[in-house]
Amino acid sequence: MNVLFLGNCQVNAMRGLTREMFPTLRADFQTITPYWDVFDEALTRQKIAEAEIVVSQAITNPGTTFNVADVRAAAGAKAVFVPYVYLDGVASLEIIPSKGRSVIKGAAQLLRGQEGRNPVKIFEDYCTGRIDMENVQRVQSSIAKIREKERKTCDIAIADYLAETLTLQPTVYGINHPTQHVVFEMFARLCAHLGWNYDPAHKDDPVVWGRRALPSSQRALTPNDARVLGLRYACDSHWYGQGHKLMQLALKERDLTARSAAA
């Protein structure tokens, strides 16, 4: 059987699990975006035509190549759509690439109403939890968006699992980099949907587990973040230095934007 995995690093991790757990299957991968890995639309369309199953990340933007409608038109009934895990707010500050540029999530909350204040005072307030970083609202909004996209476009769901496990163990290494237990759960659900015999013992191999660790982001998951969210695991050990660096970048971006607007 020829299976094409179409998406980003999350879907590519499931392609890797398929190769390990079902070595007789042919599992290929193509990126769904020009902003990650090597994007080749013509080759991807050829592989969609050749594949017997197309496991695709569900993109709803109608102007984006390989959105749900595009993939469904090209693949028909052989398309299986999986959600995109994007979970903002676990770390109050985090830098993430977005369409070729870097964005600091949490900058708006951090700098709201802080005009003219000494950065040292802003950072003191951030460290001691006197600034509302809106962790709960951001996380709940993220899960709600995933759930809504699942309802409209996906064959596989993961929002329920994210909500159930969020406080119990680390769920993401970064906003869009889920930890292994999330990747394995989504793959198990994919296997159930396709009628594949998922082996739960596969994840007990530490090499297999380690191989599916997506990169950690540059972020600050602070003691206050853990307290506000009710996390049962520790904050990031390097939150202080990372938080200060991200605050400086946020301030720089704010000042550049202000100067540009005044010019």
Q: Tokens in use for 161?
A: 């699992």
20: Cβ contacts below 8 Å, ≥ 6 apart: 202, 208
Question: DSSP 3-state assignment of 251?
Answer: helix
Pairing of strands 2-7, 26-31: parallel
Q: How far apart are CA 224 and CA 243, in angstroms?
A: 12
User: Which whole-number Å values give the CA distances from 65 to 39, 68, 80, 137, in the listed order?
Assistant: 11, 9, 17, 31
Tokens at residue 255, please? 């000042």
Asked if residues 56 and 32 have their Cβ atoms less than 8 Å apart, the reply is yes
Per-residue pLDDT of the chain in tens (263 residues, 90 and over written 9): 899 999 999 999 999 999 999 999 999 999 998 877 888 999 999 999 999 999 999 999 888 899 999 999 999 999 999 999 999 999 999 999 877 788 999 999 999 999 999 999 999 999 999 999 999 999 999 999 999 999 999 999 999 999 999 999 999 999 999 999 999 999 999 999 999 999 999 999 999 999 999 999 999 999 999 999 999 999 999 999 999 999 999 999 998 888 878 77
pLDDT per position as a tens digit, 190-219: 999 999 999 999 999 999 999 999 999 999
What is the dihedral sign for C-alpha 245, 251, 254, 257?
A: negative
> How far is C-alpha 37 from the chain's CA centre?
16
Question: Nearest Cα to 41, choosing from 64, 61, 62, 11?
Answer: 64
Question: Is residue 54 within 8 Å of 6, Cβ to Cβ?
Answer: yes
Closest CA to 184 of 209, 215, 154: 209
Q: Which residues, other chains included, contact 172 with Cβ-Cβ below 8 Å and sequence gap of 6+?
A: 85, 87, 90, 178, 179, 182
Query: How many CB atoms neighbour CB 139 within 10 A?
Result: 21
Give the C-alpha separation, 63 to 184, whole Å.
31
Could you tell me the pTM of the whole model?
Answer: 0.94
Domain ranges of the chain: 2-82+180-211, 84-176+215-263
CATH T-level topology, domain 2-82+180-211: Rossmann fold (3.40.50)
Residue 56 to residues 121, 145, 156, 173, 260, Cα–Cα distance (Å):
46, 18, 11, 22, 40
As separate numbers, helices (DSSP H) first and strands (DSSP E) second, the chain gives 11, 9
Contact 85, 148 (CB under 8 A): no
Which residue from 146, 5, 129 is spatially nearest to 85, judged by alpha carbons? 146
